[in-house]
Structure 1
Amino acid sequence: MDVLSDVIAAMRIGVPHSSRTHRTAPWQDHFEAAPGAGFHIVLAGSCVLTPDDGPPLMLHVGDVAFLAHGRGHALSSAPGEPETVLLCGAYQLDPGRTHPLLQGLPEILHLPARLGHDAAVRATVDLLASELERELPGSSSTVIALLDVLLLLILRTWLDESTQPATGWSAALRDPGIAAVLRAMHEDLAHPWTIPELAALAGMSRATLTRRFTTLIDRPPLTYLTWWRLTTAARLLRDTDATLAVIAQQVGYASEYAFAAAFKRRHGLAPGRYRAPSAPLADTDVSLQNQAN
Structure 2
Amino acid sequence: MTAPTAALASMAGVDVLEALLDGPRARGAFLLRALLDPPWSLRIEDEAPLTVLAVLRGTAWLAPTDGAPRELREGQVAVVRGPDHYLVADRPDTPPSVVVYPGGRCTSAADGRGLWDEWSLGIRTWGHRADASCILLVGTYEGAGEASKPLLNALPAVVALTPEELGTPVLPVLAAEMQVEAPGQRALLDRLLDVLLISTLRTWFALQQTEAPGWFRAQHDPAVAAALGLLHQQVAHPWTVTELAARVGVSRASLARRFTALLGEPPMAYLASWRLALAADLLCSSSEVTVASVARQVGYGTPFSLSTAFKREHGVSPQEYRRGRRSSEVDAALTGSVQAPS
Q: 2:27 aligned with 1:27, yes or no?
A: no
1:38–1:5 CA distance, 2 compared to 1 (3 A): same
* 1:170 corresponds to which of 194, 207, 216: 216
Q: 2:173 aligned with 1:118, yes or no?
A: no
Alignment partners' CA distance in 2, 1:126 and 1:78: 25
* 2:158 corresponds to which of 108, 111, 117: 108
The answer to which of 267-276 and 40-49 deviates more is 267-276
Q: How does 1:217-232 map to 2 (within 5 A)?
A: 217-232=263-278
Q: Is the 8 A contact 2:219 2:225 kept in 1?
A: yes
The answer for the alignment partner of 2:140 in structure 1 is 90
Q: Is the 8 A contact 2:26 2:193 kept in 1?
A: no
Q: Is the 8 A contact 1:35 1:95 kept in 2?
A: no
Gaps of 5+ in 1: none
Alignment partners' CA distance in 1, 2:255 and 2:153: 23
C-alpha offsets along residues 201-248 of structure 1, whole Å, 9 cap, x if unaligned?
A: 444322222222222222211011011111111111111333332221
1:105–1:175 CA distance, 2 compared to 1 (3 A): farther
The answer for the alignment partner of 2:331 in structure 1 is 283
Q: How does 1:61-80 map to 2 (within 5 A)?
A: 61-77=74-90
User: Secondary structure at 1:157's aligned position in 2?
Assistant: helix
C-alpha offsets along residues 64-121 of structure 1, whole Å, 9 cap, x if unaligned?
A: 1111233322222269xx711111112134465552232021221111225x7623xx
Q: Per residue, is there more helix in 1 or in 2?
A: 1
1:25–1:95 CA distance, 2 compared to 1 (3 A): same
1:166–1:281 CA distance, 2 compared to 1 (3 A): closer
The answer for the alignment partner of 2:20 in structure 1 is 7
Q: Is the 8 A contact 1:162 1:170 kept in 2?
A: no
Q: 2:243 aligned with 1:243, yes or no?
A: no
Alignment partners' CA distance in 1, 2:250 and 2:275: 24
Q: Is the 8 A contact 2:25 2:194 kept in 1?
A: no
The answer for the alignment partner of 2:66 in structure 1 is 53
Q: How many residues align?
A: 287
1:242–1:89 CA distance, 2 compared to 1 (3 A): same
Bigger radius of gyration among the two? 2
Normalising by structure 2, report the TM-score.
0.74
- Give the letter aligned to residue 177 of structure 1: A
1:23–1:178 CA distance, 2 compared to 1 (3 A): same
1:11–1:206 CA distance, 2 compared to 1 (3 A): farther
* 1:99 corresponds to which of 143, 149, 162: 149
Paired-residue identity, %: 36
- Cα RMSD over matched residues? 3.0
C-alpha offsets along residues 242-284 of structure 1, whole Å, 9 cap, x if unaligned?
A: 3332221111112222222222222223223333362212334
- Give the letter aligned to residue 133 of structure 1: Q
